Amino acid sequence: MAYAFRDNNGYRGFFSFSKRNYLELPLPEASGKGCFSSEGWLITLAEDKTMNLLHPLNRNRIMLPYLGQNYHQHSLVNLIKKAVLSSSPSWNSNYIIMIIVGFANRRMKNLAFARAGDNTWTMIAEKQPYIDVTYYQGRFYAITSSGVLVVCDVEGPNPTKTKLATSFVYQMNDRFYIVVGSSGQLLVAKQNSQVFEVFKVNVSSTEAVKVRSLVDNLHQGLSV
C-alpha cells in the first residue's frame, strides 16, 4: 500500500497497488503535518518540528529525535526531502531512519540518521544537493541532482559515507531517482523531458548497466 499525499479533515489517503483502489483512513494524529511513508509506516513532521513514526492501521506512534535543534529558525516547508526506514519497526526493534534535510530555498542538503532509541539526529558531513535515498542490503544509498551516487554504512559504531565510482551523464533538467527492483536489484532512474532511462547498479563493482527492458516491477516507488 502506498501513501497518497492528501490531508482531508483528519483523513489520509492510501492507494493499494495490488487491489488498485484508493481508500481514506482516519488519522487525526497526522492532520496538518508533513508526511512521508516507508516500510508501511508514516513519518510525520509537525510545525514545531517534532517527528514521529505513525502506523496507519493500529495508529501506534514512536517518537523520533527533535529536529528543531538543527533547524529551529527555519520554516517547516520542504524541510525534509525524503525519509526512509531500514526495516519496519513492527518486526525489527533495531531499525534506522535516514532523512534528506535542508532549507527549501537551498540546493545543498544534509543526510541525517537516527537509530531506534536515539535522542538526536546524526548529521553526515559534507552537504550535497541530495534528492533521493533508499535502503538496500544493509546500507543506505543516496543520489544527488547531478547523478553522484553515495553509499552510507551507519549500522556500526563509526558511520561512513563513500562516493561510488559509478557516474551518470548529467544534462540540464535531468532528474535522478533510486529504486529497488522486485527481484532485488538496485536501480537508478534518469528522467528528463525527452527520455526515461533505468540503470542497474552492481554495488560490488560499482558499475551501472543500462536496462533495455523494464520487465522488472519496482518494489520501492519513485519519489516525485
* pLDDT digits 0-9 by tens, 105-155: 677 888 999 999 999 999 886 788 999 999 999 999 999 988 889 999 998
Expressed in percent and rounded to 5, the helix, strand and coil fractions of the chain are: 5, 50, 50
Kindly provide the residue ranges of all beta strands, DSSP E only, lying in the chain, ordered along the sequence: 2-8, 11-16, 21-26, 34-38, 41-45, 51-54, 61-63, 80-85, 96-101, 109-115, 122-128, 130-136, 139-144, 149-153, 160-163, 175-180, 186-191, 196-202, 207-210
Which amino acid type is present at position 216? Answer: D
For residue range 164-203, list pLDDT tens digits in order.
Answer: 866 677 777 889 999 888 778 899 999 887 788 899 998 8
- Report yes or no: 141 and 150 within 8 Å, Cβ to Cβ: yes
Percent of the chain predicted with pLDDT > 90:
37
Q: How far apart are the first and last CA of the chain?
A: 17
Report long-range pairs for 171-175 (Cβ below 8 Å, ≥24 apart). 174/147, 175/131, 175/145
- Joined together, the cell numbers standing for residue 123 give 548529521
- Joined together, the cell numbers standing for residue 157 give 559504531
- Report yes or no: 67 and 34 within 8 Å, Cβ to Cβ: no
Q: pLDDT category, 12, cuts 50, 70, 90?
A: confident
Torsion of Cα atoms, 192 then 13 then 178 then 69, to 10°: 110
Distance of CA 72 to CAs 66, 128, 134, Å?
10, 21, 26
pTM listed for this prediction: 0.86
